[in-house]
């Protein structure tokens, strides 16, 4: 019997009422075998009706309260940051920053001019961390970071002015779960986001950085240790005094907010000083009532930290590309989505990245030529069927 001609169907996913709909997906019907049932089931498993969203919100609120009450009180660590004062906009001078939070890190220098001039000038460099260092040793990783920081500092031009007698100052943004012990020290609890560096857990990450900088002959004072959410809140506060919350959706995900000290039962220190402190929720570890598909569960079980960081694994950039790769692999296994055979690269974990998904989602061409180009570059697929 002759095979049915290849056609293209449309599968539409609708969001909650009043929100912008997600663009439709075009699905293979080649050979009479359709991928629509797979996507229909995926849509159902990913559904977030209002009652479910309310249960999730209530569960997260409960976890937040438990985390504020005691260390290890819930999946949400609710980490004390010891940041109890924030920028006013009056700050002036030369400052450096090191941002380590994912597969890339950034080094920055900025000249602040106070309320009159705000940011006078700034420069930055972004560096990719080799995969082997993400699973290497503590010394190897921090030596690499310090060497790149030293190279960057050596390029400082005359347009950046450091007052006489003042040491260069650097803020360290470290976006992994830590137990903060002071404004400039913190013990790594565990690595996340695909990192599995040996020997760092249980160590002060600022001390690790200082030792590496000393080995590079780099003379800088580490004045603060924060994560990317806290850094985002502090940076926004420089411009807008009404800011209270910061959310990160990047390689991983986190949120922080300004809490009253008298609402933090586990805070063991005198009530003097300012009334508030920034709390880092570490909400990437949240789990309760989240809608999980077979693709989420399979990816989690094969990850380096199964059973952990479930919320992060469902929404962040480190994992979304891999989830879609797994969906495409199942679709290709049950239909002729990519022709008569499955592209070999589609079998490789992490072959599809979240930036690829973003670029494909923005393709507005009638023949999806941009999608075809990206699939060709990532999984070696020429044409959709």
* Residues assigned a catalytic role: 193, 228
Q: Please enumerate in sequence order all residues whose Cβ is within 8 A of that of 259, keeping only pairs 6 or more positions apart, or say none.
A: 68, 276, 277, 278, 279
* 362: exposed, middle or buried (Cβ count in 10 Å: 0-12, 13-18, 19+): exposed
Widest Cα–Cα separation across the chain: 87
Q: Please enumerate in sequence order all residues whose Cβ is within 8 A of that of 163, keeping only pairs 6 or more positions apart, or say none.
A: 93
What distance in Å separates the CA atoms of residue 190 and residue 174, rounded to the nearest whole number? Answer: 12
What distance in Å separates the CA atoms of residue 376 and residue 374, rounded to the nearest whole number? Answer: 5
Q: What is the DSSP secondary-structure string of 198-246?
A: BT-TTSBHHHHHHHHHHHTT---EEEEEE-HHHHHHHHHHHH-TT--EE
Q: In what helix (H) or strand (E) does residue 106 lie, and over which residues does it extend?
A: strand 104-113
Q: Please enumerate in sequence order all residues whose Cβ is within 8 A of that of 2, keeping only pairs 6 or more positions apart, or say none.
A: none
Q: How far is CA 120 from CA 110, 146, 196, 271, 331, in A?
A: 8, 26, 39, 37, 52
Q: Answer yes or no: are the C-beta atoms of 342 and 375 closer than 8 Å.
A: no
What distance in Å separates the CA atoms of residue 201 and residue 179, rounded to the nearest whole number? Answer: 11
- Quote the tokens at residue 46: 């990913």
Nearest to 177 by CA among 72, 319, 262: 72
């Amino acid at each position: 019997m002759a095979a049915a001609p290849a056609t293209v169907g449309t599968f539409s996913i609708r969001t909650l009422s009043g929100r912008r709909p997600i663009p439709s997906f075009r699905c293979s019907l080649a050979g009479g075998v359709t991928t629509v049932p797979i996507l229909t089931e995926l849509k159902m498993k990913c559904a977030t009706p209002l009652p479910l969203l309310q249960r999730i919100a209530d569960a997260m609120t409960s976890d937040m309260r438990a985390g504020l009450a005691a260390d290890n009180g819930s999946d949400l660590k609710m980490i004390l940051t010891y940041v109890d004062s924030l920028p006013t906009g009056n700050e002036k001078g030369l400052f450096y920053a090191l941002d380590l939070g994912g597969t890339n890190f950034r080094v920055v220098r900025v000249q602040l001019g106070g309320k009159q001039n705000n940011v006078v000038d700034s420069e930055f460099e972004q560096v990719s961390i080799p995969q082997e260092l993400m699973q290497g040793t503590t010394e190897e990783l921090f030596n690499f970071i310090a060497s790149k920081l030293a190279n960057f500092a050596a390029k400082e031009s005359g347009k950046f002015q450091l007052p006489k007698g003042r040491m260069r100052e650097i803020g360290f943004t470290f976006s992994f779960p830590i137990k903060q012990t002071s404004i400039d020290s913190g013990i790594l609890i565990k690595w996340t986001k695909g990192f599995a560096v040996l020997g760092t857990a249980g160590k002060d990450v600022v001390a690790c950085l200082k030792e590496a900088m000393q080995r590079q002959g780099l003379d800088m004072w580490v004045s603060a240790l924060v994560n990317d959410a806290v850094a985002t809140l502090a940076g926004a506060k420089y411009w807008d005094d009404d800011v209270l919350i910061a959310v990160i959706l990047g390689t991983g995900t986190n949120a922080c907010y300004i809490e009253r000290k008298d609402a933090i039962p586990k805070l063991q220190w005198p009530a003097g000083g300012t009334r508030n402190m920034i709390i880092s929720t570490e909400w990437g570890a949240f789990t309760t009532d989240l809608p999980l598909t077979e693709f989420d569960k399979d990816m989690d079980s094969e990850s380096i930290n199964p059973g952990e960081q479930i919320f992060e694994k469902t929404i962040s950039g480190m994992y979304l590309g891999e989830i879609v790769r797994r969906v495409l692999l199942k679709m290709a296994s049950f239909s002729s989505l990519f022709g008569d055979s499955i592209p070999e690269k589609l079998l490789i974990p992490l072959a599809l990245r979240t930036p690829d998904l973003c670029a494909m989602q923005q393709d507005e061409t009638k023949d999806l030529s941009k999608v075809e180009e990206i699939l060709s570059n990532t999984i070696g697929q020429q044409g959709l069927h």
